[in-house]
Structure 1
Amino acid sequence: MTGRSPPALTGFAFAGETLDRADALRDDAGALARLWPAARVMLLDAEGRALADAEGNLSAPTGAELGGGPGTGLFLGLKDGTAWFAAQAAHVAWQAPAQIDLRRAAAAWPAFESGVFAMARALLHWQSSTKFCSACGGDITFRRAGYIAHCTRCGKDHYPRVDPAVIVAVSDGERLLLGRQASWPARRYSVIAGFVEPGETLEQTVAREVREETQVRVRQCRYLGAQPWPFPGALMLGFSAEGEPDAPQVDGELEDARWFTFAEIDAALVREGNDDGEGLLLSPSISIARSLIEHWHAGMRTRAA
């Protein structure tokens, strides 16, 4: 063992260059109106897809091209002095030849554009699903450039929701624990994940989720990084963990769970992009799940060097 550390957890989507969210501007209607003509406006359809040109590139008109002012547009932030907004495509008079979903955009677009798309999709989904006050059933009006849902009856304010979830690469020192859901493509396995419950620390969630889904006991874990995952509004908190070499058992949430050797993971990474119909398939490259697998693989390679 050389003592060298594996590379940092990188490579997944939605965690790179981002906007200055410019919180103070959300209360300044005059400033937003002045920014509007030169602003870029990301338009999403009812399915959460962004408008795109014929080649699949982002089609984000300026405010001047759309006309009018910010109105009900959702202010996202600033990039090099240019404001970015999001709006429902059905609410504006703008046509584009194509639409692109977020997963395809994450794989094809520059990191900044796909990150803005992720932010826009999560916030617009929250707006569309927040029709009435959860406290009294009153009507909602949006304030602060789209960031507060205000009840017109009881006055309660509702804020955008983010659901924290852990995602963890569990190793027994030689093998990596992966599971699969029945709805996934054949042969695809991934690391274990689950939502944080009230009253839990993240470390407690890691141990509980792994035990519930696979019956494998976790000894200890370490936080590595996070990924916004707007499908529709999760924040994936990535961990590595040391687990007991228990035989995995599933109870229905997962279809299967198995320990995989370094050789099996290595072969799956080599096979990437040239699938021969045999062997393990891994999580897509845009996900923190894939980065966790690659991080474990790199650590095992470093240990063997």
Structure 2
Amino acid sequence: MAHLSFTGHDLDRDDHTRADPERLAAMRARGDARLLVLDGLLPQLDEHGLVISDLSGIGDDTELVYLGLRGGAPLFVQVPPEGDMRQAVTLRETMLALMRLDPAELAMFGGARSVADWHARHRFCARCGGHTQIAKGGWQRNCTSCEGQHFPRVDPVAIMLVENEGDLLMGRGKGWPDRAYSALAGFIEPGESIEEGVVREVLEEVGVKVRDVSYIASQPWPFPSQLMIGCHGFTDNRELTIDYTEIEDARWFTRAEVAEAMENGRHAESFIPPLPTAIASYMLTWWLEQD
């Protein structure tokens, strides 16, 4: 099986340092301390990969997240200044640019982007509206008014392959490139198990009831901060009732069509498959390998 993108970082997250202000300050002051450079939330790349610099020019009041130790050296990322959340290119363009990174760098960028984005969107307390300030090396924000504590969140998303008599059900979202199809997906709601979320989402989007849901794999997805939970299930009903407010289209594909698409990518005749960096691509490969 192919490697799952955004997994396999090479960081020692060094949690004990996060909770110790003196050790954090010492890490920041080290001569070998490094900064993962972002432009807003966009990756900065050179011929070697991600741009990483020293901390020269970074003021003491600049909000930095301590990502951990990389090769023994402290690594930080800056929280975007207020109002600087640049995302001038599409997600697809960003993903195509990131595909040349090695797995560890891609995973490192994903985690850094997610936590930097969370900080930029949580400068005010959800409980009282007061200002928050960075704490625990960037893995917490504390309210300066009510002393509320806030932590970076991860939103669980079920993404599922639905099978019937050897064929696979997939859909396409609004605004996707022509002929592009992927696995159905949706957020897990409060009070649901993963399996219940799969059943509900498929029923809402295409009107079929899924049974025998099983887990395939998971992937952190940093746009902004989801945990994609890959699942597989079966249905006894092939008749689709598509909710066009949710998706643009859905249809059944044969095993031969899926195999052809995965082999030929955007030049495929059957449909354009997900980018290799998406868990849906991993899931389709997994499905094709099942007897």
Same fold (TM over 0.5): yes
The partner residue of 2:33 within 34, 39, 44 is: 39
Question: What is the alpha-carbon distance in structure 1 between the residues aligned to residue 94 and residue 21 of structure 2?
Answer: 30
Question: What is the alpha-carbon distance in structure 2 between the residues aligned to residue 35 and residue 140 of structure 1?
Answer: 23
Q: Show the counterpart of 2:42.
A: 49
Question: What is the alpha-carbon distance in structure 1 between the residues aligned to residue 165 and residue 68 of structure 2?
Answer: 44
Name stretches of at least 5 consecutive residues in structure 2 with no aligned partner: 83-90
Name stretches of at least 5 consecutive residues in structure 1 with no aligned partner: 1-6, 92-99
Question: What is the alpha-carbon distance in structure 2 between the residues aligned to residue 20 and residue 271 of structure 1?
Answer: 38
The number of residues matched between the two structures is 279
1:111-130 to 2 correspondence within 5 Å?
Answer: 111-130=103-122
Q: Show the counterpart of 1:109.
A: 101
* Cα offset, 1:103, TM superposition: 1.7
The partner residue of 2:243 within 243, 251, 270 is: 251
Question: What is the alpha-carbon distance in structure 1 between the residues aligned to residue 24 and residue 150 of structure 2?
Answer: 22
The partner residue of 1:294 within 278, 285, 289 is: 285
In the alignment, residue 192 of structure 2 is paired with which amino acid?
A: E
Question: What is the alpha-carbon distance in structure 2 between the residues aligned to residue 187 and residue 156 of structure 1?
Answer: 48
In the alignment, residue 264 of structure 2 is paired with which amino acid?
A: R
1:23-34 to 2 correspondence within 5 Å?
Answer: 23-34=15-26
Question: What is the alpha-carbon distance in structure 1 between the residues aligned to residue 94 and residue 67 of structure 2?
Answer: 17
1:168 aligns with 2:160: yes
Q: Is the deviation greater in 13-22 or in 289-298?
A: 13-22
1:268 aligns with 2:257: no
Secondary structure, aligned partner of 1:295: helix
The partner residue of 2:63 within 57, 65, 72 is: 72
CA contact (8 A) 1:102 1:114 kept: no
In the alignment, residue 72 of structure 1 is paired with which amino acid?
A: E
* Cα offset, 1:34, TM superposition: 3.3
Q: Show the counterpart of 1:241.
A: 233
In the alignment, residue 284 of structure 1 is paired with which amino acid?
A: L
Secondary structure, aligned partner of 2:52: coil
* Cα offset, 1:104, TM superposition: 3.4
* Cα offset, 1:83, TM superposition: 1.6
Question: What is the alpha-carbon distance in structure 2 between the residues aligned to residue 167 and residue 155 of structure 1?
Answer: 37
Secondary structure, aligned partner of 1:185: coil
In the alignment, residue 34 of structure 2 is paired with which amino acid?
A: R
Shift of the 41–79 alpha-carbon distance from structure 1 to 2, 3 Å rule, reads same
Secondary structure, aligned partner of 1:123: helix
Q: Deviations over 1:153-178 (max 9, x none)?
A: 11111111111110111111310110
Q: Deviations over 1:34-76 (max 9, x none)?
A: 3332122112122x112223x372211123x456669521101
In the alignment, residue 255 of structure 1 is paired with which amino acid?
A: E
Question: What is the alpha-carbon distance in structure 1 between the residues aligned to residue 74 and residue 262 of structure 2?
Answer: 40
Question: What is the alpha-carbon distance in structure 2 between the residues aligned to residue 121 and residue 111 of structure 1?
Answer: 15
Q: Show the counterpart of 1:21.
A: 13
User: Given the two structures, how large is their TM-score scaled by the length of structure 1?
Assistant: 0.85
1:132 aligns with 2:124: yes
For the aligned residues, what is the CA RMSD?
2.2
In the alignment, residue 84 of structure 1 is paired with which amino acid?
A: L
CA contact (8 A) 2:9 2:108 kept: no
Secondary structure, aligned partner of 1:272: helix
